[in-house]
Structure 1
Amino acid sequence: MTGADAPVLLETVGRAARLVLNRPRALNALNHAMVRRIDDALTAWEHDPAVETVVLTGAGERGLCAGGDIRAVHDDARDGDGTASAAFWRDEYRLNARIARYPKPYVAVMDGIVMGGGVGVSAHGGVRVVTERSRIAMPETGIGFVPDVGGTHLLGRAPGELGVHLALTGAQIGAGDAVLCGLADHYVPSASLPTFLAELADLPVGEAVARHEQPPPQGELAAARGWIDACYAAGTVEEIVRRLLAHGDPAAAEAAQTLLTRSPTALKVTLAALHRARRLGSLEEVLDQEYRVSCAALTSPDLVEGVRAQIVDKDRAPRWSPATLAEVADTDVERFFTPLGTREPGLAGPPSSHPPHQLHPPHQLHPATRLRPAP
C-alpha cells in the first residue's frame, strides 16, 4: 500500500485493485483529498489491463464510511463563503456518477456503518455487498441538510414509499432491508469477508460472490409497507405527519415523532427533491439537482445549527428556523432548486460510452435491484 497514513490506501493484488478508506478515528469520513485520490485511482485502473476488478472497503472495525466531513462544511458555512464546500460537492458528485458508470466491476463492501457520503461511494457500484453488521442510512434531515450523493435517486426508486420514509426520518436499515430497497445486491456474512476479498484477487467477481453469498436476513420494512405506503404517499410533509399520527400503528406514531424533531425546512425540501428525482431521467440529472440544493443549504441557518447541535456542541437540541412545518412557505422550498447558472456542475451531459457494470444480466437480478434502472 502507498503510505500507511494516507487517507485512502491503494493496493493491487492479482486481478483486483483495492481502495481502503483509511480514517478509522473519523469512521472514514470523506474529505476532498480522499475524493480526489479515489478518482485518480479509478482513472489509472480503468486504463490498466491488469486490473479487472475494483474493491472498496473501510479501515477499522466500525464501518465503511460515516459520510462526508460535515464539520468542515459547517465551518465553511458559518465562517467562510461556501466555495470550499461547493468545490468538494462538485468533485464528490462527479465521483458518484463515475462509480455508477465504471466500466469494470466495482465491488463495494458495505460492512458496518455506511451513511451519507459512504452511500455515495458504495451504493452506485455494480456489486454491492452487505453483512449482518451493515447499518445504512441517509440521516441528513437531522442536521438541517438534504440527502445528496445521489441518495434521492436511489431512495426515489425504492419500492413503494420506503425511500421517502428513509429519507425523511434518516432511519438506519440492515442488510435485508438494504437489498429490498435496492441499495445492495448480495449478503455475505462478515466472517467470510477476509476469504471473499482474498479470492477476488484470483477469481471473477461472480464466482467469488457465489462462493460466499447467502440469503439476506429478514428485514423490518417489508412488514411495515402497509402503514409506510399509506402515510408517505401524501403530497406534503404536514399530511404525512397527520397520517402517521392517525394510523394507529405504534411504529407509525414513532416515525411521526421522529419527523417532528427534524429540520422543517429540510423535510419539505427533501420531499420535493425525491418527487422531482422520480421524474428525472438519470443519476446525473439528479446529482445536478442535489448540487443546487446543497449549495442553497449553505445559506440556510438550519445546516449550521443542525451540525452544531449534533456534532459540535452535541446538546441534541437544535433550534430550527423556521421552527415549524407550517412556517416553511413554498417559496422557501423553491429557492433550493434555483438553477446556478455558470456554477452548475453540468453532470447531465452526453451519456457515458461505458454502460454501468453489472454482475448479472437484469433478468437474473433480485426484484428490488431490477427496480434500479441504469443511471
Structure 2
Amino acid sequence: MTELNAAPRVLIRTEGALGRLTLNRPEAINALDVGMVRSIAEALESWRDDTDVQIVLIDGEGERGMCAGGDVRGLHAQIVAGRADETAEFFRAEYALNAMIAEYPKPLVTIADGITMGGGVGLSGHAAIRIVTERSKLAMPETRIGFTPDVGGTWLLGRAPGRFGEYFGLTGSTMNAADAVFLGFADHIVPSERLDALREALAYRADPTGPSEIVLLFDETPEPSALPASREWIDEAFSADSVAEIVARLRAHGAADADATADLLEGLAPTALAVTLDAVREARALPGLRAALEGEYRRVMWFVTQHPDLVEGIRAQLIDKDRNPRWDPATIDDLPADAGAGAREYVPEHPLF
C-alpha cells in the first residue's frame, strides 16, 4: 500500500481554537464517499461540546477544488448491481450531515476554493460563514447526468433572486465567486493567496474578535456579477409553468444567450428537467432546509429505483463517454403533463430523518 492510498480521506485536527476538516482526496477533486461523510459527521459531533474548539473550518486539499461532488461512478455501480439500499444509506448520511452543518451550534466556516459542485455545495453552502475565491466554480450540474439537485441545493436555488434558481437548477451552469455571492451560495470573497493567512487568523485570533470580523479583514470586493444583466429574459422565460413553455419563451425572446440556453435544455434529460423545476419551486415554499432535504430524498430515490435516466446519464457521460444518452422520454415535447409528479410523490422504503 502506498503512502497516498494509506492517507485518510478526511484530515481531522485542531489548530489553536480551530477544528479543521480537510477533504483529502485531491486526485478525485475530493469527491465524497460514505466513509468521508461519516468522518466529517463524527468529528463535528465530537467538537460540539469541546470547549477548546471554538470555530470549525471545512476545506479541501489541492488547488483544483474543494469537492467535485459525490462519487458518481460508485453510485452507478451500486444501482446497476441492485444495491439500492447502499445508495439510500449514502444519501441519508450525506443529507444528515448537510442538516448538521446548517444547525451547528459553533461558527462553521467553509472555503469553496476551486471546483465545488453537487455534494461540495452541500458541505459549503449551508455553513454560517461561506468563503469563495477567484478560482471558485460552483454548480449544481445534476441534470447533465439525468438527475436532480440535492444536498439542500433546491433550498439554496429556491432562495436565489428572481428565477435564477430555476435557471441554474435546470441548466447546471457554473457560478463564479461574484455570482455565488449574488445568488446566496456564498458570503465572502477572499483571494486564494490569502487563505493560509486567514486560516492562521481563525486558529490563533485574539478574543473577543469573532470569525465574521476576521474574515472581513481578508474579504476583497470583486467586479460585480454579470448576472443582473440577464435577469429580464431569465425571469420571463423561467417563470413559465412547464419545461416546454420555458423553451418556447427562450426561442421567442430572440437574444443569442436565450437561444443558446434553449439549445442546452433540449440536449438534457427531459424528465430530470421537469423534476428539477418542480423541486426548486417546492423548496421555495418550504419552511426550512430539512423539509427541502426530504423533498430531494424522495426524488433522488425515485431516480435510483424507478427511472432509467440516472444510470443512462452516468453511462453516457462518465462510463462509456459516448456523450449520446438515450433519455426516457427522448424529448421535452414528449413529457407528460405534471411530469414531476411521480418523483414528488414517491415514498422511499426508509425515511430520511
For the criterion TM > 0.5, the same-fold answer is yes
Seen in structure 2, the aligned counterparts of structure 1 residues 296 and 240 have a Cα distance that, compared at 3 Å, is same
Cross-structure match for 1:184: 186
RMSD: 1.3
Q: How far has the Cα of 1:149 moved from its partner? A: 0.3
Q: Does 1:81 align with 2:87?
A: no
Q: How far has the Cα of 1:55 moved from its partner? A: 0.5
Contact preservation (8 Å) 2:95, 2:293? yes
Higher alpha-carbon deviation: 209-218 or 291-300: 209-218
Contact preservation (8 Å) 1:186, 1:216? no
**Distance in 1 separating the partners of 2:345 and 2:233:** 34
**Distance in 1 separating the partners of 2:143 and 2:244:** 15
Contact preservation (8 Å) 2:299, 2:346? no
Cross-structure match for 1:22: 24
**1:18-167 alignment, distance < 5 Å:** 18-167=20-169
Deviations along 1:10-52, one digit per CA (max 9) or x if unpaired, are 1100010111001111110011000000000000111110001
**Distance in 2 separating the partners of 1:207 and 1:285:** 31
**Distance in 1 separating the partners of 2:286 and 2:338:** 21
Cross-structure match for 2:317: 310
Cross-structure match for 1:212: 218
Count of aligned pairs? 344
Q: How far has the Cα of 1:219 moved from its partner? A: 1.9
Higher alpha-carbon deviation: 116-125 or 318-327: 318-327
Cross-structure match for 1:356: none
Q: Which of 329, 333, 341 is matched with 2:336 structurally?
A: 329
Seen in structure 2, the aligned counterparts of structure 1 residues 297 and 341 have a Cα distance that, compared at 3 Å, is closer
Deviations along 1:142-198, one digit per CA (max 9) or x if unpaired, are 100000000001000100001110000000010111000000000111111111111
**Distance in 1 separating the partners of 2:226 and 2:94:** 31
Q: Which runs of 5+ in 1 are unaligned?
A: 347-375
**Distance in 1 separating the partners of 2:172 and 2:265:** 9
Amino acid at match of 2:249: R
Cross-structure match for 1:367: none
Q: Which of 269, 274, 286 is matched with 1:263 structurally?
A: 269
Q: 2:11 aligns to what SS in structure 1?
A: strand
Q: How far has the Cα of 1:342 moved from its partner? A: 5.8
- Give TM-score, length-normalised by structure 1: 0.89
Seen in structure 2, the aligned counterparts of structure 1 residues 142 and 341 have a Cα distance that, compared at 3 Å, is closer
Q: 2:31 aligns to what SS in structure 1?
A: coil
Identity of aligned residues (%): 48
**Distance in 2 separating the partners of 1:311 and 1:43:** 35
Deviations along 1:176-235, one digit per CA (max 9) or x if unpaired, are 110000000001111111111111111231232122111133222111111111111111
Cross-structure match for 1:354: none
Cross-structure match for 1:291: 297
Higher alpha-carbon deviation: 107-116 or 337-346: 337-346
Q: Does 1:274 align with 2:280?
A: yes
Q: How far has the Cα of 1:81 moved from its partner? A: 3.3
**Distance in 2 separating the partners of 1:172 and 1:215:** 20
Contact preservation (8 Å) 2:20, 2:56? yes
Cross-structure match for 2:249: 243
Q: Does 1:234 align with 2:234?
A: no
Cross-structure match for 1:373: none
**Distance in 2 separating the partners of 1:274 and 1:117:** 17
Seen in structure 2, the aligned counterparts of structure 1 residues 249 and 68 have a Cα distance that, compared at 3 Å, is same
- Give TM-score, length-normalised by structure 2: 0.95
Amino acid at match of 2:25: R
Q: 2:340 aligns to what SS in structure 1?
A: helix
**Distance in 2 separating the partners of 1:206 and 1:333:** 40
Q: Which of 337, 345, 351 is matched with 1:344 structurally?
A: 351
**Distance in 1 separating the partners of 2:99 and 2:285:** 18
**Distance in 1 separating the partners of 2:84 and 2:341:** 20
Q: How far has the Cα of 1:330 moved from its partner? A: 3.5
**Distance in 1 separating the partners of 2:30 and 2:251:** 37
Q: How far has the Cα of 1:341 moved from its partner? A: 6.4
Q: How far has the Cα of 1:331 moved from its partner? A: 6.0
Higher alpha-carbon deviation: 118-127 or 217-226: 217-226
**Distance in 1 separating the partners of 2:202 and 2:25:** 24
Q: Which runs of 5+ in 2 are unaligned?
A: none
Contact preservation (8 Å) 1:175, 1:217? no
Q: How far has the Cα of 1:6 moved from its partner? A: 0.4
Seen in structure 2, the aligned counterparts of structure 1 residues 82 and 332 have a Cα distance that, compared at 3 Å, is farther
